């Protein structure tokens, strides 16, 4: 397999792929005009279970839309604010905003999306609802914890990936979990893991997980390398790691690989999309950890200068 690099500095901004209908406040709840959920019929699932999953997905969509209105207002920053201010505020949103609860809903659409209108293997079942969502202020305490560290706090870009420093992450969770790793910048987020070569990333309770793993680096050539835009002498990056007790894929806009095949295709989206995704997950089923590090440009062959706190 051709050796591929996963650069740590990749983002230049992206628009959200999903467009939600506007929501408005009603008393202490937020009214979502239309939220949609889908589930696919398989041999393992009964039609009743498929419908239940579609309804649950619609409720999650409603929660994401509703809490997203608060997220959008909290992320409404002037262009003169520094990038790290944006990133710090994003982290605060994730930690201070709880999950949402659908207090009431009305069915707008309920049925199979198949030519015959009936159940068929691999046919999607669609449920659309009008929902009223309020924030879950109880925030039941959760024992689910996540820690993430890097192999340093300053890394050097020496002009080429082969010469530049490698970023390694170590993730530890208090329960078995699925892991999603995001690179967070001033205007967008990008999913580093999972990706097309590592479709699933799992951590075992109490067992540190190295990202990328030794096998992923040796066999797949997946490496996080310190990379800067050509006109940037240094920058600070933030990595956000989300652990969930059940698999919850993050859907965004696919990012194409470079023409030289040196970069892995990834998913990217906006701050708001990530915040909606996280907040739609029940607070006792998710844990979030983040870390920051600096990337500086140095001459080839030069050591990485120490970081002065």
Per-chain mean pLDDT for the chain: 76
Q: What is the pLDDT of residues 71-84, one digit of tens each?
A: 555 555 433 344 45
Residue with tokens 């078995």: 176
- State pLDDT tens for residues 84-134: 555 555 555 555 455 567 788 899 999 988 666 666 667 789 999 999 887
Domain boundaries, the chain: 6-16+142-297, 24-135
Instruction: Tell me the average pLDDT across 211-220.
Output: 93
Show the 3-state SS of the chain.
CCCCEEECCCCCCCCCCCCCCCCEEECCEEEEEEEEEEEECCCCCCHHHHHHHHHHHHHHHHHHHHHHHHHHHHCCCCCCCCHHHHHHHHHHHHHHCCCEEEEEEEEEEEEECCCCCCCCCCCEEEEEEEEEEEECCCCCCCCCCEEEEECCCEEEECCCCCCCCEECEEEEECCCEEEEEEEECCCCEEEEECCCCCCCCEECCCCCEEECCHHHHHHCCCCEECCCCCCCCEEEEEEEEEEECCCCCCCCEEECCCCCCCECCEEEECHHHHHHHHHCCCHHHEEEEEEEEEEEECCCCCCCCCCCC
Instruction: Give me the pLDDT at residue 95, please.
Output: 52
Say yes or no to pLDDT of 171 above 80: yes
- Of all residues in the chain, the percent with pLDDT exceeding 70 is 70
What local confidence, expressed as pLDDT, does residue 114 receive?
67
More confident residue, 10 or 261: 261
CATH number of the domain at 24-135, out of 3.40.50, 3.30.1380, 3.40.1350, 3.30.110?
3.30.110
Which band of pLDDT confidence, cut at 50, 70 and 90, is reported for residue 276?
Answer: confident
For residues 11 and 134, the model is more confident at 134
Split at pLDDT 50, 70, 90, the class of 27 is very low
Per the model's pLDDT, the better-predicted residue between 8 and 147 turns out to be: 147
pLDDT of the residue at 81? 43
Asked if residue 5 has pLDDT above 70, the reply is no
C-alpha distances in Å from residue 182, one per residue of 34, 90, 168: 29, 13, 14
């Amino acid at each position: 397999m051709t050796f591929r690099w996963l650069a740590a500095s990749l983002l230049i901004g992206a628009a959200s792929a999903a467009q939600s209908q506007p929501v408005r406040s009603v008393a202490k709840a937020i009214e979502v005009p239309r939220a949609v959920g889908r589930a696919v019929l398989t041999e393992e699932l009964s039609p009743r279970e498929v419908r239940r999953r579609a309804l649950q997905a619609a409720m999650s969509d409603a929660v994401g839309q509703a809490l997203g209105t608060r997220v959008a207002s909290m992320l409404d920053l002037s262009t003169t604010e520094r990038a790290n201010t944006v990133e710090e505020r994003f982290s605060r949103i994730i930690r201070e905003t709880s999950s949402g609860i659908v207090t009431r809903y009305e069915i707008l659409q309920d049925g199979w999306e198949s030519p015959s209108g009936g159940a068929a293997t691999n046919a999607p079942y669609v449920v659309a609802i009008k929902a009223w969502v309020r924030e879950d202020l109880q925030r039941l305490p959760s024992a689910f914890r996540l820690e993430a560290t890097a192999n340093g706090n300053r890394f050097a870009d020496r002009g080429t990936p082969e010469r530049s420093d490698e970023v390694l992450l170590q993730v530890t969770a208090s329960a078995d979990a699925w892991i999603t790793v995001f690179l967070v910048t001033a205007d967008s987020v990008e999913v580093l893991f999972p990706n097309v070569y590592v479709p699933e990333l799992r951590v075992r309770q109490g067992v540190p997980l190295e990202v990328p793993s030794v096998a992923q680096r040796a066999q797949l050539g997946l490496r996080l390398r310190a990379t800067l835009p050509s006109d940037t002498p240094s920058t600070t990056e933030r990595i956000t790691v989300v652990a969930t007790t059940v698999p919850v894929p993050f859907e965004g806009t696919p990012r194409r690989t470079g023409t030289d095949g040196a970069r892995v295709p990834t998913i990217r989206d906006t701050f708001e999309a990530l915040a909606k995704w996280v907040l739609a997950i029940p607070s006792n089923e998710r844990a979030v950890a983040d870390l920051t590090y600096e990337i500086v440009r140095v001459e080839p062959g030069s050591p990485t200068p120490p970081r002065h706190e």
